[in-house]
Amino acid sequence: MNIDRVTVPFLPGVILLREMNYFKGINHFLVFDLDGTISDPLTGITHSLNCAIGAFGYPEMDKSTVAQYIGPPLDIIMRKIINSDSSELISNIIGHYRDYYNRIGYAENTLYPEIYGTLQYLIANNIPMGICTSKRVDFAEKILKLFQLLTFFSFISGGDDGIQKTNQLRLLLENEIIDKTAIMIGDRAVDIQAAHENGLKSIGVLWGYGSKEELCEAFPEKILHNPEELKKII
């Protein structure tokens, strides 16, 4: 499948992988989170994070500690990790993080078992799909290309410093890329809450970094235990 890669000035942080007119009348989008839902980013994030904070004298973190931070926007995570509100310091550390991640860290992702086959099944059944991630859009695109998943999706919405997933979904709705029939699918409460705040249904998944307790407290319509279960929702 040929990909028409389109960037639109009024859709910052969004790459359309179909022409604008494709989205007219398309409904029931499945909107996937990326980290912890499509791929496991733990190794790459841990290495990138330790490279960044180490450059500023902070001690390294082990994977189990880093895992609890995966999901929210990077600037929010960094404030918690270094326990500082200094915008300049956080910006500098994030710059180091992204330098490593862009060169090496993104390629240290691993694809969750059964994800490729599940996405293949969904696209074969004409289910429209997109990505909405707190990760910057260029990094998300590189990861999808790495795993040869780009053709499965119609758009990628990426985050940036100070951008909440709630706002990302709202932008997609306001510009009619998705409508109220879309379903947000993710592994953390932030995914479910962003869906609720935009009047969308949501599905929580347990193969990522959110616990069952965390997801239940956010009240998704369903909670899935493995990617194969996604085939049953169409």
At 192-223, the pLDDT tens digits run 999 999 999 999 999 999 999 999 999 999 99
21-25, 55-59, 147-151, 207-211: least confident range = 21-25
Task: For residues 77-106, give the mean pLDDT.
Answer: 96
pLDDT for 160: 84
Counting residues of the chain whose pLDDT is more than 90, the rounded percentage is 90
Question: Mean pLDDT in the chain?
Answer: 95
Contact (Cβ atoms closer than 8 angstroms) between residue 181 and residue 204: no
More confident residue, 104 or 1: 104
DSSP code for 213: H
- Predicted TM-score of the model (pTM): 0.94
Instruction: Check residue 231 and give left, alpha or beta (phi > 0: left; psi -120 to 50: alpha).
Output: alpha
Of 147, 162, 129, 160, nearest in space to 41 by CA: 147
DSSP code for 161: T
Detail the DSSP E strand segments found in the chain: 6-7, 14-16, 30-32, 39-40, 110-111, 129-133, 155-158, 183-186, 201-205, 222-224
* pLDDT value at 3 more than 70: no
DSSP code for 112: P
Distance CA 110, CA 34 (A): 11
Distance CA 52, CA 143 (A): 20
* pLDDT value at 234 more than 80: no
Specify the residue for token string 């990760």: 135
Contact (Cβ atoms closer than 8 angstroms) between residue 15 and residue 5: yes
Distance CA 125, CA 127 (A): 6
Specify the residue for token string 């994977």: 63
* pLDDT value at 62 more than 70: yes
* pLDDT tens readout for residues 139-177: 999 999 999 999 999 999 999 877 899 999 999 999 999
* pLDDT tens readout for residues 78-87: 999 999 999 9
Domains by residue range for the chain, with CATH:
6-40+110-233 (3.40.50.1000), 42-108 (1.10.150.240)
* pLDDT value at 72 more than 90: no
The model's confidence at residue 4, banded by pLDDT at 50, 70 and 90, is low
* pLDDT value at 1 more than 80: no
